[in-house]
Amino acid sequence: MKMLRHVAALILFALPAHAAVDIKQVTSPGGITAWLVEEHEIPFTALEIRFQGGTSLDAHGKRGAVNLMTATLEEGTGEMDAQGFANARDSLAASYRFEAGTDSVAVSARFLSENRDQAVDLLRQALVAPSFEQSAVDRVKGQVQSILQSDAQDPNAIAARIFDTETFGDHPYATSGNGTADSVAALTRDDLVAAHKAAITRERIYVSAVGDISEAELGKLLDDLLGDLPETGAALPDAAPWNIKGGVTVHDFPTPQSVVYFGHQGIKRDDPDFFPAYVLSEILGGGRFTARLMDELRGKRGLTYGAYAYLAPMDHAELLVGRFATANATVGQAIDVVREQWSKLATEGVTQAELDATKTYLTGSYPLRFDSNAAIANILVGMQMEGLPIDYALTRNEKVEAVTLDDVRRVAARVLRPDDLHFVVVGQPEGLEQ
């Protein structure tokens, strides 16, 4: 029997040392790697698994297959039908969540120490050998169709969909990962089996565990749970095109308040300018009342309940997007304010006071995220997916601190392009030229 291999990296925050989060890398005898924080105070474990690829792995003409497959994982395995599976899970007081995202399928589990082996084995059956029994597929399809119908009438979903459709051409990003009414209706059980083979594999898997579990126990768990999955799956799609140009698109929708979704191309997560851009986006569009958009649109003018903009670096495209909602009569005014702030930041940069306050906020708030087993497990799996080193938590605040006023000015001029901003307005805006 192979010995359990592991490397440990001690992560200590700048804040009080007794809160050290000790992140260890564990590699199972079978070669599966995970990041672990042992925390034995509460007798349960939070486990996060990501299968990179997600709904972007949908085969041509099978949009929605990965999503429907993921949603049907918990609907029966082996001798158990959907109710049998739910009963078994509930008897163990375990919980499993399966979610298909644009770039990954996420599995989140939590289980008690006292019946860990049974809870993991039940999860294994769902992941490795789901039944995809026809009546379960049909039932879940009905639920997905219901979500699609709701999205079709939800101004926020409509706005984002229009933006993506105009932006991403024939890339999967252009359409909803849930599929369309027609594509979902056409999906068969065979399509789900194929999507399962394509998306749930060991090829691009990331795992983290936080809680009442040792390195050796986690090593065994990884092999028990994931060892039977196929080695490889479908190839990832290519980079997405960026087709949308600056301008305004209005989608008529009967509502007193318009939703405005806007943006242009952003910056990659591994770009050397990412940190200055991140600090910039926080100053521009963060949720704090002092952020530019929030202050100008809400604080100074009372035009909206909230306005945000943020960087969204995805696997195959990078966005800088934002949103707000305002009365139909004030859409034009609000869009002018956004454009004006965009230009102002691009030409003038930010003030030293804004930069200092934002850095203090970002560095001070970072350690506060590590406040529960569930939260830490999420953070650790996210770090791995972004390709960050295991000691990233130690160096992240230094990277924020290192951002200078000149960096922000330079990156603002590069990243913020007011003429490229495209606004999608869903509502009945008054006096707005398209």
Partner 1 sequence: MPTRLPALLALSLTAAPALAQDVTDFTLENGMEVVVIEDHRAPVVTNMVWYRTGSADEPPGESGIAHFLEHLMFQGTNTMEPGEFSSTVDAQGGSDNAFTSYDYTAYFQRVAADRLDLMLSMEADRMRNLTLSEDIVANERNVVLEERSQRVDSDPSSIFSEQQRAAQFLNSPYGIPIIGWRAEMEQMDRDDALRFYRTYYAPNNAVLVVAGDVTPDAVLEMAKKHFGKLEPSDLPVRLRPQEPPQLSERRMEYADPRVAQPYVMRSYLAPERNPGDQQKAAALTVLAEYLGGSPTTSVLARALQFGPDAPAVYTSAYYDGTAVDQTTFNLAVVPRPGLSLDDAEAAMDAALDQFLKGGIDPEAFARIMTQVRAGEIYARDDSDGLARRYGAALAVGLTVEDERDWPQVLQSVTPEQVMEAAREVFDKRRAVTGHLLQEEAAE
Nearer to partner 1, 115 or 165 (CB): 115
Binding mask 315-334 for partner 1 (x = CB under 8 A): ----------xxx-------
Binding mask 144-183 for partner 1 (x = CB under 8 A): -xx--xxxxxxx----------------------------
252 binds partner 1 (CB under 8 A): no
Stretch that binds partner 1, among 61-69, 193-201, 255-263, 383-391 (CB under 8 A): 255-263
Bridge partners, 207 (sequence order): 49
361 binds partner 1 (CB under 8 A): yes
Stretch that binds partner 1, among 2-10, 26-34, 239-247, 287-295 (CB under 8 A): 287-295
Nearer to partner 1, 59 or 93 (CB): 93
β-pairing, 95-100 with 104-112?
antiparallel
Tell which one of 50, 110, 292, 396 touches partner 1 (CB under 8 A). 110
If one counts every other C-beta atom within 10 angstroms of the C-beta of residue 130, the result is 24
As given in the structure block, the two tokens for residue 306 are: 């909230």
Q: Residue 267: what residue type?
A: I
- Beta-strand ranges (E) seen in 117-225 are 205-211
Tell which one of 10, 22, 97, 143 touches partner 1 (CB under 8 A). 143
Cα separation, 219 vs 240, whole angstroms:
37
Contact present, 104 and 57 (Cβ < 8 Å) = no
As given in the structure block, the two tokens for residue 78 are: 């082996």
Size of the site for partner 1 (CB under 8 A): 72
**Shortest CB 329 distance to partner 1, Å:** 11
Nearer to partner 1, 374 or 394 (CB): 374
Contact present, 133 and 81 (Cβ < 8 Å) = yes
Tell which one of 214, 243, 255, 352 touches partner 1 (CB under 8 A). 255
Stretch that binds partner 1, among 39-47, 225-233, 264-272, 380-388 (CB under 8 A): 39-47
* Residues 366-405 close enough to bind partner 1 by CB under 8 A: 366-368, 370-374
Contact present, 51 and 43 (Cβ < 8 Å) = no
DSSP 86-141: HHHHHHHT-EEEEEE-SSEEEEEEEEEGGGHHHHHHHHHHHHH-B---HHHHHHHH
